A and B are shown apart, each in its own frame.
Chain A
Amino acid sequence: AQSVTQLDSQVPVFEEAPVELRCNYSSSVSVYLFWYVQYPNQGLQLLLKYLSGSTLVKGINGFEAEFNKSQTSFHLRKPSVHISDTAEYFCAVSVGGGSYIPTFGRGTSLIVHP
Chain B
Amino acid sequence: DTEVTQTPKHLVMGMTNKKSLKCEQHMGHRAMYWYKQKAKKPPELMFVYSYEKLSINESVPSRFSPECPNSSLLNLHLHALQPEDSALYLCASSVRTGGNEKLFFGSGTQLSVL
Contact = CB atoms under 8 A, between A and B. Distances in A.
A34 B103 CA distance: 10
Interface band, chain A: 20 to 34
Interface string B13-44: 00000000000000000000100000011110
A44 B103 contact: yes
Contacts of B43: 44, 90, 104
Q: From DSSP, what is the main secondary structure of chain B's interface residues?
A: loop
A43 B40 contact: no
B105 A96 contact: no
Contacts of A44: 43, 90, 92, 103, 105
Contact of B100 (A96, A106, A109): A96
Interface stretch (A14-22, A45-53, A62-70, A76-84): A45-53
A43 B56 contact: no
B66 interface: no
A25 B40 CA distance: 20
B107 A96 contact: no
27 contacts: A32-B99, A34-B102, A36-B103, A41-B107, A41-B110, A42-B107, A42-B108, A43-B105, A43-B106, A43-B107, A44-B92, A46-B102, A46-B103, A49-B100, A49-B102, A51-B100, A88-B40, A96-B99, A96-B100, A98-B99, A100-B98, A100-B101, A102-B103, A104-B43, A105-B42, A106-B41, A107-B42
Interface of A: 32, 34, 36, 41-46, 49, 51, 88, 90, 94-98, 100-102, 104-107, 109
